[in-house]
Structure formats: structure tokens, C-alpha cells
Amino acid sequence: MSYTLLPGTRAPVRVWTDPATIEEQAARQLRNIGTLPWVDGVAVMPDVHYGMGATVGSVIAMRQALAPAAVGVDIGCGMSAVRTNLTDADLPDDLGPLRRAIEAAIPVGFNAHDNPVNPHRLHGLPTAGWSEFWSGFGDLSADVGSLETRATRQMGTLGGGNHFIEVCVEQGGPAAGQVWLMLHSGSRNIGKELAERHIATARKLPHNADLPDRDLAVFVAGTPEMDAYRHDLTWAQQYAARNRAVMLALLCRVLRSAVPTARFESPISCHHNYVAEERYGGVDLLVTRKGAIRAGRGDLGIIPGSMGTGSYIVRGLGNDDAYNSASHGAGRRMSRTQAKKTFTTADLATQTAGVECRKDAGVVDEIPGAYKDLDTVIAEQSDLVEVVAHLKQVVCVKG
């Protein structure tokens, strides 16, 4: 489908879904963003829903400004996936031990490694730049020096919420049955701490005093506050990418232990909470993707659904109207609180039948029924991406 315009905004807010289906709280957020004087335009993805700081599933292009709350607290959150040489016939009949082995190798929730992971001891993990990366911790402008030990121990950990690790099987086509590994995580506690400090700073700046939403407080180019934020943001995005790379290497090691013949292709990785410098219409812009992936022509991306509905590997079509973007997932159709009130553990067991995963009250808010229909979301962005592969999980690890 092509986009429609959300009425009542200064800058164009282009929507890749039926605007009538957008919850009013999210629509209000989008209109508020579209009134900001720094905004060039907003692209709204079909997984759109209300979010803290800014609408999830939105792409905000600004001229010489950034809103740190729009980027959010999980800086650099994103996806990684790798195709293996295995088929589903190569996997163990009982997938329970494989799930437990993954959970033992990669801490989930608030847990961390007892000792920092040594990247030089992980097969397949690029080892370049690690010393320089960690030396940059001392150059962070925010006061987070006391958190360095925690940050090193959380490198290579999953976290909680909607973060996950999966073993998937490709559906249909000539590669049907092919096994993939996939994971979703970000910059862990250190990204949150950095974001919260900069968000607090932005809210105190005089030029943000009369905004319609305090979460839209911005830094502007040429100021020390903007320079400090962009420095820390860049480092946190690197942390998130390296975090996923370490986890993927650990995950590959677990699968090789279970199936020694396992081999792996080059991984696909993409941020979906981040900032990039890009040029559109001859104008240099700072593009914030809040729950959206880059989908420039030929870019490979990952669009997951929920813990029972599978995911898609996609290739970008390079649509400038969407700032070369696509959705980052199916998107929630109900809040976590509403999901817990609506569904039971029995519902969770039914909706995740055939998937080796947690089926307890602690993950009911992640039940597939709390998410939008993934196939509809994919269909609504047919001018943004093309499908490369459809995957269905057989193992799902949640925090």
C-alpha cells in the first residue's frame, strides 16, 4: 500500500496503515511530533502503537535537532539473525535441553555473566576494536563511571520484556526446513542510564519550555548538550551491536554443541531504536527510527512477530517517502497490563503450541494475541520491503 497523510500537522506525517486504526494516544503523539519546528517529516509504520517518549513504529526526520526521549532508553535495540546449514530434521526431537542450554549460556532478565565474556575466545566473533570500544567508556559525557563493571558483565546478555532468542525454521520455498538463529536485544542497563541522563538535561533547556509534550524536548546542533548526547548515543549504539554479536556467537556455540555439524552463514543485523545521518531531497537530516528498521534498496532486515507467530527476513526497496524505513515487528495491539487482564497461562499454552518456550504467568504479556497480525503488517508495507524468507520459531527464550 502507499501512505496516507495524518491531518492537523505542520510537517508531513505519512502513515503506512489505516489512520483510523491508530489508538488515539499514539495519534496524539504523532500530531505533537509533527508540530515541532525542527521536524522535516514523520513516517509511520504499520506496527505503530503508543510508546514511552515517542510513538513506536515511527521515523522522525529532523533538521539539526534530536529528541533523546524519541530515541528512547534502549538505545540501539535491534535484531540479529543467521541462517545455518541445518534443516529441522537435524534438530533434536526433544528441544527442551536445547532451550535450557541457551538459557545457561546467555543470561536473561536482570542477570549478567559472572565474568565478562572474552571476545577473543568466541569462534566466529569479530575481535577487532574491542579494546578501543571499552576505552571509550571513560570518555562518556554522562556520569556513569560506576556502572562500567555492570556494563562489561552485561555484554552478551538478553534482558527481559520483548527481547528474545529463537531457533527458527524457514517456511515454504526452495529452502523450506532450513534452520535459522535469531535474537532481539539492545544496550542493556548502560543504554538506559545514558538515555535517562540526557533526557533529563534536554527537558531543562529553555527552548523546550513550551512544547506540547515534555518527551519531545530536543537538543539542537552546535550546542555542547547536543555534542555530548551524540557522543554517548554513538557509543551506546555500538554497545548494542556488540551485545547482539556476542550473544549470537554464544548461541552458535550452543547449537554446535547440540548438533556438531552446524555451520553458519554471514549474519544479518539491524538496529531499530537509533539515529542516523541521512540525506533526503538535498537536505541533511538526523533520522530517528523509533521501532523501525532501515530499508534502503537492497538492505536486509528482520521483522519479527511474536513468540508464536514467526518472523520475516526482508529486503528494502528504498522508499524515500518513508525515509528508507520499514516496521520493526508486528507491533502491540494491547498494553502489557491489558494483556495480563485478558489472557491466561492456558491461552498462552494454546497460542504457543509447538514452540519450546516458557508458558508461565511471567510472559503472558508477551502472548501472540497481544500483538497485531504480522501478515497484515507485512502486506501494508509492500512498497517498503520485499519478503526474502518466512521463519517460524520452534524454540523461544524469553527474559
Residues 99 and 277 sit within 8 Å (Cβ to Cβ): no
Instruction: Give me 334's grid cell.
Output: 494491547
Q: Please report where in the chains the cell 548538550 appears, as a residue.
A: 225
Among the options 163, 184, 328, 390, which is catalytic?
A: 328
Q: Are residues 16 and 6 in contact, defined by beta-carbon separation less than 8 angstroms?
A: no
Kind plus residue range of the DSSP H or E element containing 226: helix 224-258
Asked if residues 310 and 374 have their Cβ atoms less than 8 Å apart, the reply is: yes
Q: Annotated catalytic, 120?
A: no
As a whole number of angstroms, the distance between CA 361 and CA 350 comes to: 14
Contact 178, 233 (CB under 8 A): no
**Alpha-carbon distances, residue 182 vs 81, 164, 379 (angstroms):** 4, 8, 22
Length of the chain: 399
Task: Report the C-alpha gap between 264 and 17 in whole angstroms.
Answer: 36
* In contact, 61 and 292? CB cutoff 8 Å: no
Cell of 372: 497485531
Question: Could you tell me if 92 and 144 are in contact, meaning their C-beta atoms sit under 8 angstroms apart?
Answer: no
Query: DSSP class of residue 6?
Result: P
Identity (one letter) of the amino acid at 376?
T
Residues acting as catalytic residues: 328
